[in-house]
Structure 1
Amino acid sequence: MRTIAKKYPTAVVMLDLGAEQLSENASATVSTVLYWKILQWAGFSKEKKIARLEFTLDRRGIYEEFKTKYRERYNTEWDEIQNDPLIGVARAAEIVPFVLPNDFPTPESFRNLRFDDARNLRDLAQEIIDICIKTARKDNPDIENVIFFIDEAGQYVAPRSELILNLDGLARNLKELGRGKVWIAATGQQTLNEIVEKAAYNSAELNKLRDRFPIAIDLDASDIREITHRRLLEKSEEGRTILLDLYGQYGQALVSHTRLSGTKLFKGDPDAEIFARLYPFLPQHFDLLLELIRTLARSTGGIGLRSAIRVIQDVLVDKNRILGLGATTLADREISTLACVDDFYDSLRADIAKVLPHVVSGVDRSAKIFDGRPVIVRVAKAVAALQPIETFPRNAENIAALLYPALGSQSLVDEVKEALRALTKEEECGLKEDPQSGGYLFLSDAVKPLQKKRNEYVPTSSDFTRTKIQILKEGSSDHQLFRIQPSSKLEGSKEVKAAVKLNRNPVIAGNEDIEFRLEFIDSGIWDEKKNELLVSTASQAELKNSIVLLAKNDDALMDLLSEAIKSSEIVKDTNEGTVDRDVSQFLRAERRNEESSKDLAAAALDRALLDGLFVFRGKPTPVREVGNTLEAAIRNILGIAARDVYRYYHLAPIRLSTDAAEKFLSVERLDRVPAELDPLKLLVKDHGTARINMAHPALTEVLHVFQSKIVDFGGRLQGNYLQELFSSPPYGWTKDTVRYLFAVLLRASEVELYVPGADGPVRTPGSQAIEAVKSTVAFNRVGVSSRDIKPSIEVLDRAAQRLESLFGEEVLPMEENISRAVSRHMPDLTEKIGALPDRLRLLGLSGEDRANQVLGDAADLRKGDAGGAAAILGGKECQFLEEIIWARSLFDALESGAEADVRKATAVLASLDQLESAFPDISKSLLSEIDRDTAKNILLSDRVHERIPELRGIIRSLADKTSVRYLSEKNDLDVAVKNGLNSLESMPEWSKVEDEDRKEIASRLSRGLPETADESNPVRSLHDLVVFRRTLSGLLDELRAKIKNMVPRPPGPEQPEKYDAYLTPEALLGSQQRVIKTKEDLDSLIKALREKLEPLIKDNKSILIRGSQ
C-alpha cells in the first residue's frame, strides 16, 4: 500500500464497522456510517448537528471566520469543544447568528433546529468523494485517488438484506462516480462464499454483493503461522539449539502422542525444523486455533483472522490480562512445555461464552465438582474449546493429543478416558457423548427441562416388563439371549423349537409344544418359589411341557433397566425434528445411553440366567450344569425335555417325503415294496408271503390310540384331527409320517376311509385311497374309522343339538332326521359364505384356506345325502361346527362395515411402512411399535372381526397424528418453496426466460399438494409431502440449470460450403450448342459428361456445377 501511495498519490480512509458503528443505531447502513466517519476524518465534529453545521460553513468558505469569532467570544479554540454534544451545541448557537444571520437570526433558531437527511445514495457518495479529495489536498495538492478500507463488512451486512443492498449500491456509485480513481476494499472474518452459505435468508443478495467485489485475497493458516513466527516466536540461536536437541530426544514420542485423526486440520507430523520454528506450538495448533477463531467470529463478529496474533499473544504472555492472579503464562513455563488446547480455552473463554454460554457454565460446574483433580478440569476445558468446531472429532484420543503437556511426557489417553467417564457420569456437568455431532459436548440449558423430566420419570412395572422382554428378544452384540429361537435335535431327525415367556408375557411367541418360562424373583423367597415350582411343574397340566428358568433379581440390573426406560421415554416423547440443535444432541445422547444401558442389561440378564435354575416336571437342574453358556444350556435342557415331551417319537423317528404314503399304496403287491418305502421295517414275510406286521410298536400304538378316540368321538375321525393328534406331544411325528402309517393300516384292513366324492367307504388301496393320502391338504378332508362301527345314541344326540344351535330348528336325534336337516339348511348357508375365501384374499386377510376348508367340509357333509353327517357332527369335539360358525360370523361382520375398516387400515399401514423405509424418524412419532404390531396382528388374525373396534381406534389415532404432522410439514414446505422461487427469480437469466417457461417452472415448485391430508389415507399424503420437501433442493438445482439452458444463444455467421472443383456448363459441354433429338444423341452427351467428371470423382473430390454468368 505504501508503494501504491507513493506512485499514485492516494487518500486512504479506514473504517472498522465492528468498532466504529454508530452507537445510537447498530444497524445503520454502511453509507451512513462511512459518511460520519469521513466527516470526523476531515476534522468535523462527532456530534451530528455540529458536524452538519461545520460542513455547511466549510462549503460556504466561512468555517475559519466561525472559529475566529468563537475564539474571540470564549477565549479558547473551537477544536477543544466541538465534540461535546451539550456545551458544543449551546456555544455554537451563540456564534451562528454572526456568521449565518439570514439562516439563523437568533441562537434559538439554531438551538431548536431538527433535521433529517433526504439525500439519495448517489448524492451521498458524491459528497463523500468531494470531502475526501478536498480534505486530502490540504496536505497534498496532487492527490486524485481515494481508497476506502471497510473492515468487518461481511459480518455487519450479512444478517439484513437492506444493509447488503446499501453496501452494493455504495460500491456501485463509488465506482461509477470515481471513474477508476475511487476504490473500496471490504474485509471480513471469512470469505463471502462462507457468509453466503451461513446466511440462507439473504443468499441471493449476498451473491450479488460477491459479484460487486471481484478481487478476493484470502489468508490461511500458513500465513498466520509465518506472521506469528516473525513477530512472536523468533528464537535465539542458543534456544533453537536446545529445541533441536529436545526434538532429537523426544521427537518420535511427541509425534506419536500428538497425532490427530479424522480431521483435515491435521496435515502431517512436524519435523525438527518446524518444531523449533513454531515452538511452543505445533502446526496443528495453528490450524485448530484459526478454525476456532473463524467459528467464533461467524457468530460474534468480535475477533477474526487479524486477531489471531493477539490470541496467540494472550496464550503466550496473557497480554490482555485474561488469566487470573497467580496463573503461570505459557512463556514462563519450563522450556519443554507445549501449548495445549486448555490454554486456548483460557484465552478465548469470554468469546466462547458469547457464542456458547452453556459450555463455559459446564466447565465452571466441572471445575467446582472436581476441584483438586486438574486432569478432569483440563479435559472439560478441552471439550469446551473444541465444541464450537462442529466438524472436529472430540474423541478421547484427539483430546489427549491436544492436551499433551511437554516433551518426554507419557500419553494421556487413559487418563482422558477416565476423566470423560467421570464427567459424563456426573449429570450436573452436562457432558454427553454424541458421535453424530462430533463426540463429547456440553449440553445447553435448553435441555434442562428435558433432563429434569427424565430424572423425575418413575418407570412402572409394565415399563420394566416391556423393556426386559425387548432386551431378551433382541439381545446385544455380545449376548444373544433369545434373539435366536431356542431349538434342539431329537433322535437326530426332528428339530424341536420352544417358545419363550417372561412369566406369562410372550418373548418369542409361536405354536410350539414346549416353552421356556423365565421367572425373576428376589433372593429372600428363592427357596420358597423353588419348592413351589417343584410341585406345580409335576402336577399342573398347563406346566407339563414348560421349562421354568428361575433367576434372581439384581438391583444393578433394575438400575440399568430404569436408565434405559428413562432415556427411551424422553426420546419417545420429544420430536427431534422440531427442536433446536442442543436438544437434538441431548436426544441423540439419550438414545445412545438407552442402547448402552440395554447392552449392559443384556449382559446382566445373561449372567443372572446362567446362575439360575431349570425346573422341568418337578426336577431341578442348575443352568451351569448343562452348559457353559446360556445358549448351550438352553439347547441342552431343551433336548432333555424333548425326549420326555415326545416320549413316543422314537417309535417312528423318520422324516418321510410328501409322496411316501402315495407311493406305498401305489405298489400292487407288498412283496414288491422297495426298502425306501418301508423305513420302519413294517413288512415281514410269512411262509414266503409279505404281510404287515401289526405287532410293530408304531402300528400297535397308533391303532390303540385311534380306536380309543373312535370310542370317544363316535364312529369317524377327520384326517386333519389325526394329523394334529400324532404330530403333537407325546408323538411329534411329521404329518407325512402320520399319513404313511394310516396308509399302512388301510392296507392292513384295520381302517376305512371316507373320501370326498366317493360313493361309500374306501377300504382298499385304489385310486381314491391314493388321492386321499396324496397330501396333507387332501388327507385333512378324509374321514377315517375302524371297520363296521356305527354312531352311538350319544353321538346322534350331540349332532342333533349342534344342528339346533346352528340353524335354530329342533332336530330329532336320529340319523335320518340329522341328514334331512343338513340337506335342507346347509346349501343356503354355504351359498351365503361362498364368496368368503375370495373376499378374504382380496382384502389381504388370513383365513382364505380356512374358509375354503369350511366350504369343502360343508360340501362333503352333504354328499351321499348327508349320510355321514351324524358321525361328523356328533363327536365329543366338533371342529366343523366351530369353523362354520366362524365363517358365518366373519361374513356378517364384513357385511356390516368391517370390510371398509380393513381396507382403510391396510392402506394406511402400507403407506406407513413406505414412509418408514424412507423416513423412519417420522413414522415412529406417528404410531408406537406396540400399536403397529397390534394392528398388524389383528389383520393377520383370522378372527379380525372380533377386534374391529380396537383396529378402528388405532387407525383413527394414527390419522389424527398424521394430519397434525402434515399441517406442520406443509407450512415448512410453503416457506421453502417460496424461498426457492425467490432464489430462482433472483438469477440474472430469469428476466430472459419466456413467461410461459416461468409459469411452467413455478408450477413445478407448487406441485399442487393439498392444504390438508387426505382423510382416506393421510399417511400417503404425508409421505408425498415429505418426499417433495426432501427433494426440493435437487429440484431447485435442476430448475436453475434449466433456466440457464433456456436463455437463447446468439447465432453465429453462416460459413459457405467449400468444394474441390467449380465447373460451368461451358467447361463440361463446350461453347457450341448441342441438340438432342434421338436416344443416340443423349447417350453421346452422357458419355461426354462421364469422361469429364469420372476422374474427379475417383479422386474423392466434391464438385459444384455453377450456371453461366
Structure 2
Amino acid sequence: MKIQDMFYDDINREIKGVIQVDQDAENIIEQELTEYVITRELKKHFISFFNYYSESYDRQTSDIGVWISGFFGSGKSHFLKILSYILENKEVNKVKTVERFREKFEDDLATFMMIDKSTKASTDTILFNIDIEGSMIKNKTAVLRVFAKMFYRHLGFYGDNLKVAKLEQYIERKGKTEEFRQVFEEKNGESWLNSRDVFDFCEDEVIESLVEVLGMSEISARNWFDSSEEVDISIGQLVSEMKDYVEKKPDDYRLLFMIDEVGQYVGADTDMLLNLQSLVEKIGSECMGKVWVMCTGQEALDEIIRTRADEFSRIQSRFKTRLTLSSTAADEVIQKRILKKKDKARVHLEEVYNQEKNVMDNLFKFKGALGDIRGFEGSNEFSINFPFVPYQFILMQKVFSQIRKYGNVGKHLSGGERSMLSGFQEAAQRVQKKDEYAIIPFWMFYDTVHTFLDSSIRRVVERAERAASDDKGLELYDVDVLKLLYMVRYVNDEIPASIDNIVIMMAEDIRVDKIEQKNKIQKSLDRLIRQNYIARTGETYNFLTDEEQDVEREIKDEYIEPSEITRKISEMIFAEIYTTKKYRYEKKYDFDFDKKVDGINYGNPLGEMELEILTIATNVIDKQELRLMTSSKNKVIVVLDDTEYYNFIENAMRIDKYARKKNIPQLPKSMQDIIRNKQDDAERFKEDALDELKEAFKEAKFYIDGNRTTIKAGTPQNKIDEALEYLVSNLYNKLGLITKNATSDEDIYMILDGREDDGVMAGLESNRRAAAEVETYLIAQNEQHLPTSMADVQKRFTSIPYHWREIDIAAVVARLIYEQKATIKYGGETIRASDERLPELLRKRSETGKTKIQKREMISIQKMKEARDFLRHFFDIMDIPEDDDGLVDFIIRKFEELKEHYSKLEEKYEGKNYPDKKKILEAKDLLLALLDARKDNIGFVNKLIDMGDKLEDMQEDMEAVEDFFKVQVSIFDEATNLESLLRFDLDYLQDEKEINDALNKIRLIVNINPKKEDFDYGDIPKLNGYMERVKEGHNKLLDNKRQEIFEIVRQCMEEIHKGDKYDTYIGNIIKETDDFYTQKKKEISETLSLRILDGFIPSLWAEKDKAVKDIISIEKSNNVEEKSQKDQDGEEERADSNYVKENDGESEPEKKKHIKKFYRQAIFPARILENEGEIKEYVKTIERNLMTLLGDCDGIEIN
C-alpha cells in the first residue's frame, strides 16, 4: 500500500504552516476552524479562560487583562485568533463559529456551555499584531498610541493619523460626516476614505470643505491644517472615549482588544511597561468588564517584570488570567491533522509492526540518548505515527528551539506545532509514493527549514552539493549525512551524533541492514572530515559552518611536538589513572619508583624501581620482545594497546595551542563562540583520551625484571599494582628476614630493656636472621677497619635486596645492643642500652650520621673480677652484675647516686657556715673524674680500678661530715641563731660578765675559720652549756625590762580612765585605748630583745597624750553647750533686736588662736633628783621656762 493512500485527509492539501492574526480570507478561516485541534493542554486553557470571562456577564470586574505566553510557535497567536472568532461568533460560510466548536467539546458540555454563554452577547474584537501596527519609534506613549489607532480605526476613523482621526470624530459629533465626505469628493474628485491617508496634498479641498460644511472661517480652517501633526492624547482621555462608546451599547456588549506579540514589542522597556500597566488599569476601573485586553508574548508576564517586580506589581493583578502554552502536544496536532489514517491502512500497518517488531526493536537502539528519544512501543503507536518515528516529534521541537537560540535562523521560523505541521507534511509528501516499510530519515527535515537558515549554514550544504555533483571528494549521500549532522548539531545532550545513532536517524526503511548502513555512513563521515565539512570529537561528529571550517583548518595546521604529547600522556596516566605516589607492599612497605613514558621522566627520579609506559608513539624496534625483556631489568615496562588516545590528545593540544594564539575577546562574537566551542571540544577530547588510555591498559603487555609476565587484574590501577608487586618480590628477596615490624619507639625501648623477649625461648626471638645479617655486616666493616655510622647501616638495609623500614632497622640494631653484640657511640661516648636517646640516635636523620656503630669489644674477665671485688667492699653490696653492660650500668648508677648525695649535702651549706665544705667539693671532683671515663666501657672499668685507693680515702674523710649532718647540725644551728639574736642587745650586756664569757665561747665554735684544715667536732656538744648560761642571764634582763614597761602602761591607762566614762564619746576613747594597751602588753610579753622592748615606750606615752587631749576637748565642748542652754531665752530676745544691726554690716570673724608645740624632752630635761630641795628647784625652773614660752603665743601643746 502506498503511503499517500493511507491518510484520511489528502496529504497534498494546502495547510498554512504559520498562522497570522490578520489572515481573514474565508476559506483560510474555515480551514483553521475546521482543522483546529483541541489538545489536552488547550482544553485546560479554554476552561481557564471561559470560566473567568463568562463570569463577567454575571458581575462587574476590573480584572479585564488576559496574558497568553509561549515560545515561538507554541500556538499562542493561533489560540488568540481562534478566541477572537469564538467570542465574536464570526459567521464563516454561513456557519457560526460557536457551532463549529460544539463537536470539538462534545465530551465536555460544561465548558461548551460557558463558551455558548460568552457568545450570546454582542461582541466586537479588535485583533491586531502590535509589532505590525505599532510605531517604529517606541517612546513612552507608544502603547497608548497604538491602542488609540486601533480604537479609532474600529470607529471608522483614520487611526493612523490621530490629527485626522480627531477631525473625523469632531465632524461625526456634529452629524456632518456624510455631508463632509460628499463635499470633499465634489471638490477633489476622489472619495475622502481613499484620500485621507494623503490629506497633506489636498490642502485647498480640505480647507474649503471645512469652511463650507462646518461654517469655519478660512483662517481657522487653515490654522488647523497647518497645526502640528502630533496630537496629544492621554490615557484618561482615550479610556473616557472607550467608556462613552461601550455605554451606548447594550449592557452585555463587549469590546475586546486582542493584541499579538505584545511581549516582544514592549520587551523590558520600563516606559512602555508602565504605559501598558496604567492603560489596562484605567480600562478595568472605568469600563468594569465591558472592555477587555488580551495580549500574547513569548515570555510569561512575571518573567518580563522579574527584575522590576516592585515597580510593576499592579500589572500582574490587572492581567489576572494568565495562560502559558507549550508545544508538548505538537505530536497530537500532527497526528490528527496530517497523519490520521484510514481504518484499512491502520489495520495493515499494525500487521506490519507485528511482523517486523523484532527488527524495529533492534533498529531503534539509541546510545547515550535521553529516555524519550526512542522508537515504537506498540502497533497502535506505529500506525498512528507512520511514516514517522516517535523520537522525531521530540527531537524536532528541540532542534527548532536550539536553531533559533543559536541565531542561525530568520525570525519567521516557528518552533511549535505550526512549523512542525508544515515540516511533517512536506516530509510525508516526499515519501508518499513509497510503501509501508518506508520511514522518514531525520535529514529530510532539513529541507523544511533550510530557507529560514542563515546563509552561512546554507552555503556549507550547497557547496557540499556542488562538490558531490562535480565528483570532488563527496557523494550525494554524503550531503544527506551532512544535513542530518546540522539538524542534531545543537541537541548533542539529547542524542549524541555517534555513528550508531547516525545509522538509526539515516534509516529510510525499517528493514535496513544496520551493518551495511554503518559501513556506508562511516565512509561518508570520513569523506566529510577529509573535506573539512565536519569534525569529530571523541565518538561524536559535528557539522562545521564556513567560519568553523576555517578554524578547523587552522587547528589542523598547528604542530605539536611528540615530546609534548608524551608529557601530556604522562600527566594523564600518573595524575588521573595511576595516582599512587609510592607503591605499598603487604600493606606496610612503601616503595618509591621512577615514572617514565616513552623514555621521558615524569617527576624527579626517586627510587631503585622504575615503571615505564610505552605508547603507540614508541618505535616498533624498541617494542621487540627480546629488547623489552633485556631492558626491563629492575623495572616494569608496560606496552599499551593501540587505541585512539594519542590522536585525541594531539587534537586537544592543537586546539589549546590555537586558542592561546588568539586574542579571543577582540574577535567578533561569532568567532569567539566558535573558538570557545572548540575549547569545549578539547575538553571532551581529553576526557575521551582518558577513557581510551584506560582501554589501552586492558590488552597491554607487561615486562617485569627481565620476564614477559601475564597480568590478569582488571583496572589499570590493579594491573600496575600487580606488576609492581611481582617486581618487589623479585628485587627485595631479603625483605622477609624482618618477621616482626616495629611500630613506634616504645617497641625499641622494649627490646633494649629485655621486655620484648619475655617468655621467648633463646634463638626464637623476632628478627633473629635479620640481626645476624646486620652483625655480619658490622664484622666485615671492622675487619676492613672502616668506620661505620648508623646512617651507613640505614642506607645499606633500606636498599636492594632488603628495603627494610628505618624503624625496623633501628629495632634490629637495638637487639644487637641489648645482646651486647654492638656498641653505639655518640660524641665519643658509649651509649648504654638504658639511654633514652637511643631510638632518636638510631632513627633521626639529623643524628644517624653522627652515631657510630661497631662490633662489640668485651671487658677482660680479670678486670671484671677486680672491679666487682672493689665494689663489694666500697658499697658493702654482694649482688654485683656479671655482664659487661650490667656491671658498667651498676658502677655508673651507684657513683651517680653518691655524687647526687654529696650535691645535696653541699646545698645545706647555702647561707650557712658549716665545717668541712672543702671535703665535700673534693669528693664531688673525684667522682666526676671517674664518671667522665664512662664513654668507653673498658676504659671506665680500668679507671675505677686505678682510682680505688683515692675513693676509699674519700669515703673515710666524709664519715665525720656525714655524722655532723646526722647528729650535730641542729645544736650548731641553735647556737648560731642565739649568737646572731643577741647582737642587737650587746649594749645592754656590757656589764654582764658571765653572759659575755659564755657568748664568746659560742662564737669560737660556730664562727668557722676557712683557713683551718681540721674542725674539732668534739667542741659541738659544749655548746649546750654555753647556751644555757647565756639564755638564763638574758631572760632576767628581759623580765626586768618588761616590768618597767608594764608600769608605764598602768600609769597611762590610769590617767585616761579619769575621763567621764559615762559620756558616749569619752567611753569610746577609753575602750579604744584599752584595746591598744592590751595588744601592746601581749607584744611586750612575746618580745625577746631588750632594744625592741625600749622601742615600745614612746608609742605608749603618745597614745596616752592623744587620748587625754581628745577627752579634754570633748569635756570643754560639753560645758559650753550647758551654759548656752541657760542663756537661750535672753539670747533669743537680743537676736530679734540685733538682727538688723548684724546684717547691716559684715560680722568680724573669730580670731584663730596661736598654739605652739614642744616635745616633752625639751620641757623636762633628764636629771637625777636626790632630795626635796633639788625637786623644788627643778619644778621652779620648768615653771619659768613655760611662762617665758607662753609670752609670745596663745597656748602651749606638750607632746
Q: TM-score range by the shorter chain?
A: 0.5 to 0.7
Counterpart pick for 1:213 among 319, 324, 335: 319
CA contact (8 A) 1:626 1:637 kept: yes
Q: How much has 1:591 moved relative to structure 2?
A: 0.1
**1:702 equivalent in alignment to 2:778:** yes
TM-score by length of 2: 0.49
The aligned residue for residue 958 of structure 2 is none
**1:13 equivalent in alignment to 2:126:** yes
Say if 1:166 and 1:571 are closer, same or farther in 2 by CA, change over 3 A: same
Matched residue SS, 2:126:
strand
Matched residue SS, 1:185:
strand
Q: 1:150, 1:306 → 2: CA distance?
A: 21
Q: 1:672, 1:391 → 2: CA distance?
A: 71
CA contact (8 A) 2:584 2:591 kept: yes
The aligned residue for residue 150 of structure 1 is 259
Matched residue SS, 1:148:
strand
Out of 522-531 and 361-370, give the one that drifted further.
522-531
Say if 1:723 and 1:677 are closer, same or farther in 2 by CA, change over 3 A: farther
**1:562 equivalent in alignment to 2:677:** no
Residue type of the partner of 1:593?
Answer: F
Q: How much has 1:704 moved relative to structure 2?
A: 0.3
CA contact (8 A) 1:164 1:205 kept: no
CA contact (8 A) 2:538 2:685 kept: no
**1:507 equivalent in alignment to 2:602:** yes
CA contact (8 A) 1:660 1:677 kept: no
Q: How much has 1:562 moved relative to structure 2?
A: 2.6
**1:176 equivalent in alignment to 2:263:** no
Residue type of the partner of 2:295?
Answer: A
Counterpart pick for 1:674 among 746, 756, 761: 761
**After superposition, what is the alpha-carbon deviation per residue over 1:671-724, rounded to whole angstroms, capped at 9, x for unaligned?**
9862575457679xxxxxxxx9xxx6763333103553xx454xxx44344323
Q: 1:627, 1:43 → 2: CA distance?
A: 91
Q: How much has 1:423 moved relative to structure 2?
A: 9.0
**1:595 equivalent in alignment to 2:687:** yes
**After superposition, what is the alpha-carbon deviation per residue over 1:18-67, rounded to whole angstroms, capped at 9, x for unaligned?**
44444566998333223223333443447525445434433443332332
The aligned residue for residue 816 of structure 1 is none
Q: How much has 1:403 moved relative to structure 2?
A: 5.5
Q: How much has 1:316 moved relative to structure 2?
A: 1.6
Say if 1:560 and 1:747 are closer, same or farther in 2 by CA, change over 3 A: same
**1:459 equivalent in alignment to 2:541:** no
Larger Rg: 2
CA contact (8 A) 1:564 1:597 kept: no
Q: 1:206, 1:293 → 2: CA distance?
A: 33
Q: 1:273, 1:394 → 2: CA distance?
A: 28
**1:115 equivalent in alignment to 2:191:** no
CA contact (8 A) 1:755 1:783 kept: yes
**1:767 equivalent in alignment to 2:834:** yes
The aligned residue for residue 784 of structure 1 is 853
Counterpart pick for 2:271 among 162, 183, 195: 162
Residue type of the partner of 1:212?
Answer: R
The aligned residue for residue 957 of structure 1 is none
Q: 1:280, 1:90 → 2: CA distance?
A: 68
Alpha-carbon RMSD across the aligned residues, in angstroms, is 5.9
The aligned residue for residue 447 of structure 2 is 346
Q: 1:672, 1:200 → 2: CA distance?
A: 84
Q: 1:747, 1:230 → 2: CA distance?
A: 99
Counterpart pick for 1:39 among 138, 152, 158: 152
CA contact (8 A) 1:663 1:677 kept: no
Q: How much has 1:633 moved relative to structure 2?
A: 9.9
Say if 1:227 and 1:729 are closer, same or farther in 2 by CA, change over 3 A: closer
The aligned residue for residue 62 of structure 1 is 176
**After superposition, what is the alpha-carbon deviation per residue over 1:259-302, rounded to whole angstroms, capped at 9, x for unaligned?**
88965867995655555455545666555555666777898995
Q: How much has 1:11 moved relative to structure 2?
A: 1.6
Q: How much has 1:69 moved relative to structure 2?
A: 1.9
Q: 1:216, 1:633 → 2: CA distance?
A: 63
Counterpart pick for 1:470 among 548, 560, 571: 571
TM-score by length of 1: 0.53
Q: How much has 1:593 moved relative to structure 2?
A: 0.9
CA contact (8 A) 1:35 1:128 kept: no
Counterpart pick for 1:73 among 182, 187, 192: 187
CA contact (8 A) 2:199 2:206 kept: no
Q: How much has 1:16 moved relative to structure 2?
A: 1.9
Query: What runs of 5+ residues in structure 1 fail to find an aligned partner?
Result: 319-326, 538-542, 684-691, 790-862, 869-1109
CA contact (8 A) 1:366 1:377 kept: yes
Q: How much has 1:331 moved relative to structure 2?
A: 4.7
**After superposition, what is the alpha-carbon deviation per residue over 1:734-770, rounded to whole angstroms, capped at 9, x for unaligned?**
44554455456556766432268xx9535xx753499
Say if 1:223 and 1:57 are closer, same or farther in 2 by CA, change over 3 A: farther
Say if 1:417 and 1:865 are closer, same or farther in 2 by CA, change over 3 A: farther
Q: How much has 1:460 moved relative to structure 2?
A: 4.7
Matched residue SS, 2:292:
strand
CA contact (8 A) 1:47 1:84 kept: no
The aligned residue for residue 727 of structure 1 is 798
CA contact (8 A) 2:585 2:591 kept: yes
How many pairs were matched up?
Answer: 731
Query: What runs of 5+ residues in structure 2 fail to find an aligned partner?
Result: 1-86, 90-115, 859-930, 937-1199
Matched residue SS, 2:183:
helix
Q: 1:191, 1:703 → 2: CA distance?
A: 93
Map 1:81-480 onto structure 2 (within 5 A): 81-84=195-198, 92=206, 95-96=209-210, 98-99=212-213, 102=216, 105=219, 112-128=226-242, 144-189=253-298, 191-192=300-301, 195-196=303-304, 201=307, 208-219=314-325, 228=334, 231-250=337-356, 254=360, 257=363, 272-273=379-380, 275-277=382-384, 279-281=386-388, 285-286=392-393, 289=396, 308-309=417-418, 311-313=420-422, 315-317=424-426, 329-331=430-432, 333-334=434-435, 337-339=438-440, 341-351=442-452, 353=453, 377-382=479-484, 384-385=486-487, 392-394=494-496, 396=498, 405-406=508-509, 408-409=511-512, 414=518, 418=522, 422=526, 425=529, 428-429=532-533, 454-455=555-556, 457-460=558-561, 463-474=564-575, 476=577
Q: 2:354, 2:794 → 1: CA distance?
A: 85
Q: 1:588, 1:271 → 2: CA distance?
A: 40
Matched residue SS, 2:830:
coil
The aligned residue for residue 825 of structure 2 is 754
Q: How much has 1:592 moved relative to structure 2?
A: 0.7
Greater relative contact order (Cα < 8 A, sep 6+): 2
**After superposition, what is the alpha-carbon deviation per residue over 1:511-543, rounded to whole angstroms, capped at 9, x for unaligned?**
423345678997599699999999xx9xxxxx9
**After superposition, what is the alpha-carbon deviation per residue over 1:580-614, rounded to whole angstroms, capped at 9, x for unaligned?**
8776544332201122235446766998x849x88
Map 1:538-687 onto structure 2 (within 5 A): 547=635, 559-569=647-657, 585-600=677-692, 610=701, 621=706, 649=734, 652=737, 654-657=739-742, 666-667=753-754, 674=761, 677-678=764-765
CA contact (8 A) 2:179 2:213 kept: yes
Matched residue SS, 1:177:
helix
**After superposition, what is the alpha-carbon deviation per residue over 1:808-862, rounded to whole angstroms, capped at 9, x for unaligned?**
xxxxxxxxxxxxxxxxxxxxxxxxxxxxxxxxxxxxxxxxxxxxxxxxxxxxxxx
Q: Percent of counterpart pairs with the same letter?
A: 16
Say if 1:264 and 1:358 are closer, same or farther in 2 by CA, change over 3 A: farther
Matched residue SS, 2:156:
coil
Q: 2:815, 2:122 → 1: CA distance?
A: 120
Q: How much has 1:12 moved relative to structure 2?
A: 1.6
Q: 2:519, 2:619 → 1: CA distance?
A: 39
CA contact (8 A) 2:431 2:440 kept: yes
**1:498 equivalent in alignment to 2:593:** yes
Q: How much has 1:10 moved relative to structure 2?
A: 1.7
**After superposition, what is the alpha-carbon deviation per residue over 1:340-393, rounded to whole angstroms, capped at 9, x for unaligned?**
543443223344x36xx7666665566667776566544544454456679744
Map 1:1086-1097 onto structure 2 (within 5 A): none
